A and B are shown apart, each in its own frame.
Chain A
Amino acid sequence: MATEHDELASAVPALVLGSLTAGERQQLMLHLEGCADCRALAARLARGAAVLPMEPDPVEPPARLRGRVLAAVAAVRPDAPLPASPLPIPALRRRRRLPLPLRSVSLGLAAAAAAFVLGTVAGVGFGHLSQPFGPAHQGQVAAPAAARYPLHGMGTMAGVTADAVVVRRDGLALVDFRGMPQPPAGQVYELWLLTGDGRALPAGVFVPDSQGSRVVVLTQDLRGATRLAVTVERGPDGTSAPSQEPQLSGRII
């Protein structure tokens, strides 16, 4: 007749293969603490289980995956409390039109857009220019692979926290928004890439979730972009040129 020990020992192979339920695992781990035989068995079998990941046919990951990983890593802080489920990172809705330079839009919009670009490039109305802080936590030095830049808000967005994470080598950027107020009915937030030569390129629209959070991934070409900015525009697709001064902005180089 099987003893309790035998019963627990028979679960060790499943333990090292990672196929026990949380409750079963917890019970067995408690047993292992006090049972040297089962500990030795687990250690021995674990050596075999540890090489199983090497068995599959090698498949080269797509080139974009490295950038995705680095952007996602740079967006979180080590040892932060885990969310209940994996953090969704929705891509921004793809724009139907190509980004337009300011000279191609109407005069009224062009004037607003010009003021917008001048304001953000000069840092007017935003206190001080933002500084990249590279490290994801204190004590970390600037990381060339992926750099983090804070965006600064004003007015209704003064309390918003937003960080842009840029993996320039892979042309990827991710923006993590927290504490965003909901835009007025029928309107959306629109992201803009501001270039060094004074253009504002639409980079997508989004609406925060009910908690005011949203993580968005920019899929646009980042070459030439020096700043990111956010305005409130008409929904659902936003506009081709900003109609107001930015509520939130920061540099990304």
Chain B
Amino acid sequence: MTPSRRELSEQSDPELAAAIVAGQIDAVDVLFTRYGRVAYSLAIRILGDPGRAEDVVQDAFVRVWKRASSFDARRGSLRAWLLTVVRNCAIDHLRGSLHEREEMQLQVEVRAEGEGSNPWREVSQSLERDAVRVALRSLPGEQRQAIELAYYGGYSQQEIARMVDAPLGTIKGRTRLGLEKLCSYLQGRGLIDGD
């Protein structure tokens, strides 16, 4: 039996993903309720333009709907997938790319996300945001810059090297070190799983 809108709103993310794969538009509605704000905030962060951010969020949800059958819950969370799509759509808008980026699903486990009631989801997202900010701030400026230019700007390592006038190998090293430290920090606070 098909779950109602209310039942969907109480389902976990993997169950919601299954409902989207089954073609339930109500599940997209619930997905928007759950992550619409995070998605829009990310699009604004990348584009700095509310109008274009709206276009990006719309495109991203459509892409998730169209490609729902390719989503593999064993390889990552629904939220991570959606936000990767949002990020890629935003970068495509930003860089004027004619080709859609492919969403890559690597094995990723992130804890405090998406489950439970709305008040708890709000709280957990807020805690997560604070932790990510502290983790990023704790990085040396050059490492943080390399990560932010790559993720929020969509710049390649070669482009970043030219922008900051540093050797390519240095940029690659900064990016890896920064990510390693970010992981260690978040892992130490129980936000992400270890190896």
Q: Report the separation of the CA atoms of residues A70 and B20 in the bound assembly, to the nearest whole angstrom.
A: 13
Is B41's CB under 8 angstroms from A49's CB? no
Q: Would you give the 0/1 interface string for B81-117, flagging 1 where the beta carbon is closer than 8 Å to chain A?
A: 0011011110100000011111010111110000000
Interface string of A60-84 (1 = CB under 8 A from B): 1110011011101110111110101
Q: Which of A17-25, A109-117, A190-198, A237-245 sits within the interface? A: A17-25
From B29, which residue of chain A is reached at the shortest CB distance? A145
Which B residues lie within 8 Å of A19 (CB)?
150-151, 154-157
Interface string of B18-57 (1 = CB under 8 A from A): 0001111110110011001111111011000010001101
List chain B residues, Cβ under 8 A from A145. Answer: 5, 25-26, 28-29
What residues of A have a CB within 8 angstroms of the CB of B151 in the complex?
17-19, 49, 52
Q: How far is the CA of A72 from the CA of B101 in the complex (A)?
A: 20
Against A, the Cβ 8 Å flags (1 = close, 0 = not) of B101-139 are: 110101111100000000000000100110111001000
Give Cα A143 to B29, complex, Å.
Answer: 10
Contact of B25 among A17, A58, A87, A146 (CB under 8 A): A146
Residues from chain B with a CB closer than 8 A to the CB of A96 are: none
Q: How many residues of B contact A (CB 8 A)?
A: 85
Most buried by A among B23, B61, B68, B172: B23
Asked whether, in the complex, the Cβ of B172 is within 8 Å of the Cβ of A52, the reply is no
In the assembly, what is the distance between CA of A49 and CA of B108, in Å? Answer: 9
A72 to B2 CA separation, bound complex (whole angstroms): 22
- The CA of A43 and the CA of B179, in the complex, are separated in Å by 12
Chain B residues with CB under 8 Å of A66's CB are 29, 32-33, 36
CB pair B150 A51 closer than 8 Å: no
Q: Which residues of the partner chain A approach B173 to less than 8 Å between Cβ atoms?
A: 10
Residues in B with CB closer than 8 Å to A25 are 102, 104
Complexed CA–CA distance, A92 and B99 (Å): 27
What 1/0 mask marks residues of chain B from 42 to 80 whose CB sits below 8 Å from any chain A CB? 101100001000110111011001111100000011001
Is A13 on the interface with B (CB-CB < 8 A)?
yes
Interface centre among B21, B84, B132, B136 (most CB of A within 10 A): B132
CB of B33 to closest CB in A, whole Å: 8
B165 at interface by CB-CB < 8 Å: no
* In-complex Cβ contact of A47 among B61, B155, B193 (8 A): B193
Q: Which chain A residues lie closer than 8 Å to B33 at the CB level?
A: 66
Q: Which residues of the other chain, A, contact B39 by a CB distance below 8 angstroms?
A: 61
Q: Is there contact, CB below 8 Å, between A58 and B169?
A: no
Cα of A50 to Cα of B57 in the assembled complex, Å: 18
Q: How far is it, in angstroms, between the C-alpha of A59 and the C-alpha of B47 when the chains are bound?
A: 13
Task: Compute how far the CA of A237 lies from the CA of B33 in the bound complex, rounded to whole angstroms.
Answer: 38
Across-interface contacts of B77 in A (CB, < 8 A): 50
Ranked nearest first, the 8 interchain pairs of A and B with the lowest CB-CB distance are A56-B45, A140-B23, A143-B25, A61-B40, A53-B83, A48-B183, A48-B182, A19-B150
**Contact residues of A with B, CB < 8 Å?**
10-22, 25, 29, 40, 42-62, 65-66, 68-70, 72-74, 76-80, 82, 84-87, 135-137, 139-141, 143-146
Given contacts A44-B195, A141-B2, 4 further A-B contacts (CB under 8 A): A50-B80, A61-B54, A73-B61, A140-B24
21 contacts between A and B (CB under 8 A): A10-B176, A16-B179, A17-B175, A17-B179, A19-B155, A19-B157, A22-B99, A43-B108, A48-B179, A48-B180, A51-B128, A54-B128, A61-B37, A70-B25, A70-B29, A73-B25, A73-B28, A73-B62, A74-B25, A143-B25, A146-B29
